[in-house]
């Protein structure tokens, strides 16, 4: 009862080949209530195998397991063996989940007024709004006391100034070629906090930290993606429901890919003639989880088993990830 070597598992370090998972890795585990958290397996087993293996899925996803692998399907309490899978009857569990250990700590902003300081608690949603503006429209100067600027279209300015006003941060603006150049004053630590949080001053080098990707609720991730796409994306002419987002920042594109996967959005990317990454985001939940094909074939190589007391693991072999029994 195990996975083939082609399987990738979602860990607290991102996707890893099942063959590369170590004892220090934690894998994302979903219980039958829909809660999910990263857990450390109590064993990882690798063994040689020469026999039949079952490959099944649809054009959107596929997995390969031994015939005795237990699989829990949507609407069924008891698991079904892989060898008993039936086309069009069985439907895998949706990839929806909620984290049970969401980080509830709020960001704290320091506002300065001469020698006195005022501390402001920032809500997660407000913080994600400003982070979205920073990675798409922001600029942090190189000064010792860095200055924070945003170059924003007038139509998209309101969410940012609403947050800044709520925090009590003053700002100035001027018109530059039809866009607004908004500058945040230096009497606060917002620019420095964003630089530390995003790991860089320049937008081309910013990346989303692991705690934002792996410890945020789906609601917060959808809010962040919605803000990013509203600021920068444009509808695709060939595919009206898709949004196109371009960036030179490879790390940001990969972060968006991961976020889209976690919230259930469609995502694909390519490069244009200018060398930019072009991301295509489909902001609707895709749920093509019915089994459309089954192949039984001979397999010779290593198979892998993940030891967990209960729950399902997040795996992928082809395209979309699915929830599967760990053994």
Read off the pLDDT of each residue in 218-229 and give the average, rounded to a whole number. Answer: 86
Read off the pLDDT of each residue in 301-318 and give the average, rounded to a whole number. Answer: 85
* CATH number of the domain residue 84 falls in: 2.170.16.10
Same domain, 139 and 271: yes
Read off the pLDDT of each residue in 258-276 and give the average, rounded to a whole number. Answer: 81
Tally of domains within the chain: 2
Read off the pLDDT of each residue in 287-291 and give the average, rounded to a whole number. Answer: 69
* CATH number of the domain residue 255 falls in: 3.10.28.10
Same domain, 246 and 132: yes
Same domain, 78 and 171: no
Read off the pLDDT of each residue in 306-323 and give the average, rounded to a whole number. Answer: 81
pLDDT, tens digit (0-9, with 9 covering 90-100), for 78-114: 778 888 888 877 666 655 666 655 444 566 888 887 7
Same domain, 256 and 302: no
pLDDT, tens digit (0-9, with 9 covering 90-100), for 131-148: 999 999 998 988 878 889
> Is 10 a residue whose pLDDT tops 80?
yes
Same domain, 82 and 132: no
Same domain, 120 and 206: yes
Token pair listed for 93: 């569990």
Same domain, 63 and 39: yes
Same domain, 148 and 273: yes
List the domain range (segments joined by +) for residue 263. Answer: 107-282
> Is 33 a residue whose pLDDT tops 50?
yes
Read off the pLDDT of each residue in 147-174 and give the average, rounded to a whole number. Answer: 90
Asked, for residue 120, whether it belongs to a domain, the answer is yes
> Is 63 a residue whose pLDDT tops 50?
yes
Asked, for residue 30, whether it belongs to a domain, the answer is yes
Read off the pLDDT of each residue in 143-172 and give the average, rounded to a whole number. Answer: 89
pLDDT at 268: 81
pLDDT at 182: 93
Question: According to the 3-state scheme, what is the secondary structure of the chain?
Answer: CCEECCCEEEEECEEEEHHHCCCCCCEEEECCCCEEEEECCCEEEEEEEEEEEEEEECCCEEEEECCCCEECECCCCCCEEHHHCCCCCCEECCCCCEECCCCCCCEEEEEEECCEEEEEEECHHHHHHHHHHHHHHEEECCCCCCCEEEEECHHHCHHHHHHHHHHCCCEEEEEECCEEEEEECCCECHHHHHHHHHCCCCHHHCCCCHHHHHCCCHHHHHHHHHHHHHHHCEECCCCCCCEEEEECCHHHHHHHHHHHHHHCCEEEEEECCCCCEEEEEECCCCCCCECCEEEEEEEEEEEEEEECCCCEEEEECEECCEEECCC
Same domain, 48 and 111: no
Same domain, 268 and 299: no
Asked, for residue 287, whether it belongs to a domain, the answer is no
CB burial class (10 A; 0-12, 13-18, 19+) of residue 91?
middle
Asked, for residue 224, whether it belongs to a domain, the answer is yes
Asked, for residue 101, whether it belongs to a domain, the answer is no
Pick the more confident residue, 115 or 26.
Answer: 26
Same domain, 50 and 81: yes
- Computed over every residue of the chain, the mean pLDDT equals 82
Asked, for residue 117, whether it belongs to a domain, the answer is yes
Same domain, 276 and 307: no
Confidence bin at 210 (pLDDT 50/70/90): confident
In which order are the strands placed within the sheet that holds 277-282?
234-235, 243-247, 277-282, 266-271
Asked, for residue 102, whether it belongs to a domain, the answer is no
pLDDT at 183: 93
Asked, for residue 50, whether it belongs to a domain, the answer is yes
């Amino acid at each position: 009862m195990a996975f083939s070597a082609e399987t990738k598992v979602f860990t607290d370090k991102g996707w890893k080949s099942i063959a590369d998972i170590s004892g220090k890795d934690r894998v994302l585990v979903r219980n039958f209530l829909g809660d999910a958290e990263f857990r450390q397996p109590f064993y990882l087993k690798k063994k040689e195998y020469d026999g039949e293996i079952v490959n099944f899925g649809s054009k959107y996803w596929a997995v390969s397991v031994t015939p005795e692998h237990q699989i829990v399907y949507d609407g069924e309490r008891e698991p079904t063996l892989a060898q008993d899978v039936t086309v069009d009857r069985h439907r895998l569990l949706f990839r929806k989940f909620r984290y049970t250990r969401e980080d509830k700590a709020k960001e704290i902003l320091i506002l300065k007024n001469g020698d006195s300081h005022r501390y402001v608690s920032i809500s997660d949603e407000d913080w994600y709004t400003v982070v979205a503006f920073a990675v798409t429209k922001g600029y942090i100067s190189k000064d010792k006391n860095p200055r924070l600027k945003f170059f924003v279209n007038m139509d998209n300015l309101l969410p940012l100034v609403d947050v800044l006003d709520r925090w009590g941060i003053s700002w100035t603006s001027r018109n530059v070629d039809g866009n607004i150049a908004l500058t945040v004053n230096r009497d606060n630590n917002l620019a420095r906090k964003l630089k530390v949080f995003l790991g860089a001053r320049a937008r081309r080098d910013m990346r989303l930290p692991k705690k934002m990707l792996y410890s945020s609720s789906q609601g917060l991730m959808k809010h962040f993606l919605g803000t990013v796409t509203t600021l920068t994306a444009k509808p695709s002419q060939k595919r009206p429901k898709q949004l196109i987002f371009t960036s030179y920042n490879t790390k940001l594109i990969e972060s968006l890919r991961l976020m889209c996967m976690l919230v259930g959005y469609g995502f694909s990317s390519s490069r244009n003639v200018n060398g930019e990454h072009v991301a295509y985001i489909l902001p609707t939940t895709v749920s093509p989880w019915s089994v459309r094909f089954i192949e039984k074939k001979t397999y010779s190589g290593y198979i892998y088993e993940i030891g967990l007391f209960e729950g399902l693991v997040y795996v992928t072999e082809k395209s979309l990830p699915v929830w599967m029994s760990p053994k």
